[in-house]
A and B are shown apart, each in its own frame.
Chain A
Amino acid sequence: GAVVSQHPSRVICKSGTSVKIECRSLDFQATTMFWYRQFPKQSLMLMATSNEGSKATYEQGVEKDKFLINHASLTLSTLTVTSAHPEDSSFYICSATLTGYDSPLHFGNGTRLTVT
């Protein structure tokens, strides 16, 4: 149980285009979803926290107009990288939690974004 599906796993796009990444909890309703980014040889950096039906809470330094997060239902959150640039190339990974911060996170498999 507690499976999180993230798509696509890899995407290559041209500079200036937008890319949407989906994160779905397949067998549970996620009260909160988290989006992370991994820079080369670094740990996971929290980008934003989203709750269903609410605006996402972005970490300091993360441009909310650049990284649009929508949490339309208890099972789906999307991250859209708008007007992508090569510096947006990175590994993005989502996670979801069932009941709150004292329950474990369940991670998707991540998305490798390459902007050419």
Chain B
Amino acid sequence: ILNVEQSPQSLHVQEGDSTNFTCSFPSSNFYALHWYRWETAKSPKALFVMTLNGDEKKKGRISATLNTKEGYSYLYIKGSQPEDSATYLCASNNDMRFGAGTRLTVKP
């Protein structure tokens, strides 16, 4: 993988569902993996910055894991709420280029 890739591009879930999405990144010369949440009409906000292989971070109902050897990170949202609706972006390494994002819509 040469660039950061995110999947799926969009996701529609019902309130209360748990969901997850993926960020794939070049595993060579890894330095850090960033996750951001970007709500409409607002600026992106940092969720997690992860640097260690096997790292797992949690913030409320949102958690993330990191596998630097195979070059992927998962973001999990437990019990999705309508306010979780946003675009979730990841960026890696020392260049801060973002993936295309996963647009999550949580229906009440």
Q: Are A103 and B49 interface neighbours, CB within 8 A?
A: yes
Q: What class of interface size applies to chain A in its complex with B? A: 20 to 34
How many residues of B are in contact with the other chain, CB < 8 A? 22
B46:A104 contact, CB within 8 angstroms:
yes
- Bound CA–CA A4/B46 (angstroms): 13
| Chain B contact surface mostly | loop
Assess A104 versus B43: contact at CB under 8 Å? Given A43-B100, A44-B89, A44-B98: no
The answer to whether B96 and A34 touch across the interface, beta carbons within 8 angstroms, is yes
Minimum CB distance partner of B6 in chain A: A43
Contact with A along B32-43 (1 / 0, CB 8 A): 101010000011
The 0/1 profile, CB within 8 Å of A marked 1, for residues 44-74 of chain B is: 1110010100000000000000000000000
When distances are taken between beta carbons in the complex, the residues of chain B under 8 Å from A103 are 49
A107 at the A/B interface (Cβ < 8 Å)?
Answer: yes
CA distance A4 to B96 in the complex (A): 17
Interface residues of B (CB under 8 A from A): 31-32, 34, 36, 42-46, 49, 51, 87, 89, 93-101
What are 16 A-B contacts with C-beta separation under 8 Å? A34-B96, A43-B101, A44-B98, A46-B97, A49-B96, A59-B97, A93-B43, A95-B44, A101-B31, A101-B96, A102-B31, A104-B46, A104-B49, A106-B46, A108-B43, A109-B43
